[in-house]
Structure 1
Amino acid sequence: MKKTLIALAVLGAAAGVAHAQSNVTIYGIVDTGFIKKSGHDVEMGENVNNRLGFRGVEDLGSGMKATFELEHRFDLNNGTQKGKTAAGKDREFDGAANVGLKGDAWGAVRLGRVNELTTETIRKFDPFYQYGVGAMLEGNQRSPRIDNTIRYDSPNWSGFHFGASYSLGGNTDSESIDGYMVDVKDAGADNDGYGIMLGYDNGPLALVGNWSRLADSKDSSVWNLGAAYRFGPAKVELVYQQTKDKGWANGEQADWQKVGSWNNGRVVNEYQGVDELKEKQWLLGLEWKLGPGRLNASAQWMEVEASGGQHVSDKDIYKYAIGYTYDLSKRTAIYGNVAYTDYDDKEVAAVYGDTDDGTYGVQVGITHKF
């Protein structure tokens, strides 16, 4: 934590110097509240991720700009930093950490740690933005941010835009292989990552399509489609997503592949030795500007198929969520969200971190953005 404070102090001092040559913005979010979930005591937790960020742009002339972004993520309730690498090292900047170039005519290129295209774009079609108890169900191998990546984003042509990314996997060269990558290589999980996105957002209609594969994920992949239509104060959203989850994400084995790791060490026989989960998912969402805030609601259905172990199973999950965000100002809001998830059984519930086949979640809190 001392290293983090020193790094942030240096960046703060440097921002004053850099401002004469480039435009540096300091921004952040502080969010906390109370969460009660089935099988858990009341706890304090966030809805939107807490962060402190630095974003800079330097005008290079002729429509060209240099850009950078550094974003520190932290737990507001105890002051600790978030995030570890696949090798178990603490991250000073668990959010964005990249540098790049941007052109008015050709788009933007960033290198380093960036948002994953698939996650960034499809979450905009979830009324809860994949945050908190009401969030869209996600596969184990999805990642909001990805390392060692080059990402391209096109300009916007009357609403049309596209993006692509390429991510390097960990070092598996026999002469210098990193320790934690030995297991990844032995399991055949070492691979580079790719992502492509095509989107449209103009007037009342928004559309997006994605395909991606995370680095060091045993070639796990996901593709999804999203559509939204705005009419008056309301927006209706529809998402379809298919995920092939082979049990690895950025060099780390998924909990559901580790025998006896579910539910604080309780062995679940149904999924021991499973090689792959296939998930097919629908989400119908509604956002409605109501009074000084916004009503959010969603209904989800997911079909989960496990294969490769002693059992091949096909399970269903239904999730329903509703919430309201009340804007006290342009920067400060209070919120309340309620969700209920209906699993086929406790075994499939454990895959998604829950303890019972019928799980509820209640969340209230406050968010301030600066």
Structure 2
Amino acid sequence: MKKTLIALAVLGAAAGVAHAQSNVTIYGIVDTGFIKKSGHDVEMGENVNNRLGFRGVEDLGSGMKATFELEQRFKLNNGENNGGKGWTKSGDRDFAGLANVGLKGDNWGSVKLGRVNELTTETIRKFDPFYQYGVGSMMYGSQRVRGIDNTIRYDSPNWSGFKFGATYSLGDNMDSDSRSSHGNTLKKAGADNDGYGIMLGYDNGPLSLVGNWSRLADSKKSSVWNLGAAYRFGPAKVELLYQQTIDKGYALGDESAWKKVYTAANDIRENQWLLGLEWKLGPGRLNASAQWMEVQANGADISDKDIYKYAIGYTYDLSKRTAIYGNVAYTDYDDKEVAAVYGDTDDGTYGVQVGITHKF
């Protein structure tokens, strides 16, 4: 009996030590509401992306830690998987948000391997008052993507507000004799390139700045670069960003939507500006933005097309974790042709959205 008690005591002590050295955090967001868009019936949908995640850290000693992230994305209104953009069907992904393992040091930063957030999207979205969510979101460029696969990502420590990041992503079976049929299709199209990304940012006091350049894997060497600036004063924050996308016809191994509209074009160039405002008003935040995008279809006799978008919304905080929101947006396209590139059928479209968000 005494031996059993001693053994249990030892196991309990060991479990306590292990618990002290490592921990796992479970987190998530649940969000849904009603959305009405031009040409669509009222539907249920999200504003903030729904997710369930696990984040772990183990202390290895001498300032070194092991890390991992596993995050699933889903649609709350029907429980379906929400895998996002990419040629792999969303239903094939068990962890469509994040899936990586890595090391972190107190003095040198962190390295992650696996599926990670793309630096360009992760950092520039912070200069959109709507954080690239919902009907009020900044217009998505044709190379915009949330997560990237088969990637190594480095993030530097914070040096008095300055940060640096870089990514390298493998293409789909580059130059392999055992390449998949999808890889063969990409190779014949000259679209099976590796991917790269770099980021330089500054956030200290009232001023925030960021600059990014990226090339997605399997994109025919298409590229995106952007600059963002924000200034906080009192209850308000003003944001300005510029983004240029050069799309040569593929994004993550998928043919881009513009190829079905501008069939004679070799590539398109998107020049995009956004002016945003966030204002703490009462127990919530007022968000507003005005955007302009110029679309140039190169290699075809097509004049430049302009797109304007205006959005306003309010988020009311019921608590630190729960909020209700309402957003309204209007998009003005030059014509129905350019509207079709971005998934709309009319040259003037609106969106209205109301819902509730809970974070845990």
Pair 1:334-2:316 in alignment: no
Structure 1 residue 73 displacement after superposition: 0.6
Q: Contact 1:164–1:194 at 8 Å: present in 2 too?
A: yes
CA contact (8 A) 2:285 2:315 kept: yes
User: Could you state the TM-score of these two structures normalised by the residue count of structure 1?
Assistant: 0.90
Residue equivalent to 1:307 = 298
**Any unmatched runs of 5+ in structure 2?**
1-15
- 1:349 aligned onto 2:350: no
Q: Do the aligned partners of residues 362 and 17 (structure 1) sit closer, same or farther apart at CA in structure 2, a change above 3 Å counting?
A: farther
- 1:60-117, CA deviations, whole angstroms, 9 ceiling, x for partnerless residues? 1111110000001111111111217524361100101000000010001000000000
Alignment check: 8 A CA contact 2:174 2:193 kept: no
Please state whether the residue corresponding to 2:277 is helix, strand or coil. Answer: strand
| TM alignment of 1:1-370, pairs within 5 A | 19=19, 21-83=21-83, 86-88=87-89, 90-258=92-260, 268=261, 271-309=262-300, 311-370=301-360
Question: Which amino acid is 1:57 matched to?
Answer: V
Letter of the 1:291 partner, please give it.
G
Contact 2:186 2:253 in 1 (8 A): yes
Contact 1:149 1:168 in 2 (8 A): yes
Q: Secondary structure at the match of 2:148?
A: strand
1:87 and 1:180 in contact (8 A); partners too: no
| Percent identity between the two aligned chains | 82
Which deviates further from its counterpart, 79-88 or 296-305? 79-88
Tell me which residue corresponds to 1:5: none
Contact 2:142 2:245 in 1 (8 A): no
Query: Which shifted more, 169-178 or 286-295?
Result: 169-178
Match of 1:73, SS state, is: strand
1:272 positional shift: 2.2
Q: How many residue pairs are counted as aligned between the two chains?
A: 343
Distance 2:314 2:281 in 1: 9
Instruction: Write the distance in 2 (CA, Å) between the matches of 1:108 and 1:20.
Output: 21
1:230-252 C-alpha deviation (Å, 9 max, x unpaired): 00000000001111011211111
1:125-170 deviation line (CA, Å, top 9, x unaligned)? 0000000001011212221110000000000011011111111101
Contact 1:141 1:247 (8 Å CA) reproduced: no
1:26 positional shift: 0.3
Partners of 1:17 and 1:192 in 2: CA distance: 43
Deviates more, 1:273-282 or 1:46-55: 273-282
Q: What whole-Å deviation, never above 9, does each CA across 1:287-341 have from its counterpart, x for those lacking one?
A: 00000000000000111001234x3330001100000000000000000000001
One-letter amino acid of the structure 1 residue matched with residue 36 of structure 2: K
Mapped to 2, the partners of 1:18 and 1:74 lie a distance apart of 32
Rg larger in structure: 2
User: Which AA in structure 2 matches 1:75?
Assistant: K
Report deviation, 1:182. 1.5
> Following the alignment from structure 1 to structure 2, what is the Cα–Cα distance between the partners of residues 362 and 98?
36
- How many angstroms apart in 2 are the aligned matches of 1:121 and 1:205? 15
What amino acid is aligned across from residue 69 of structure 1 in structure 2? E
Alpha-carbon shift at residue 21 of structure 1 (Å): 4.6
Verify the 8 A CA contact 1:109 1:152 in the aligned structure 2. yes
Q: Is the 8 A contact 1:214 1:220 kept in 2?
A: yes
Using the TM superposition, give the Cα deviation of residue 19 of structure 1 relative to its aligned residue in structure 2, in angstroms: 4.5
The answer to whether the 8 Å contact 2:169/2:196 transfers is yes
- The residue type paired with residue 354 of structure 1 is D
**TM-score, normalised via structure 2 length:** 0.92
Native 8 Å contact 2:143 2:224 kept in 1: no
| Separation in structure 2 between the aligned mates of residue 185 and residue 20 of structure 1, nearest angstrom | 50
Compare 217-226 and 19-28 and name the one that shifted more: 19-28
Structure 1 pair 17–53 and aligned structure 2 pair: CA distance change class (3 A): farther
SS for the counterpart of 2:92 is: coil
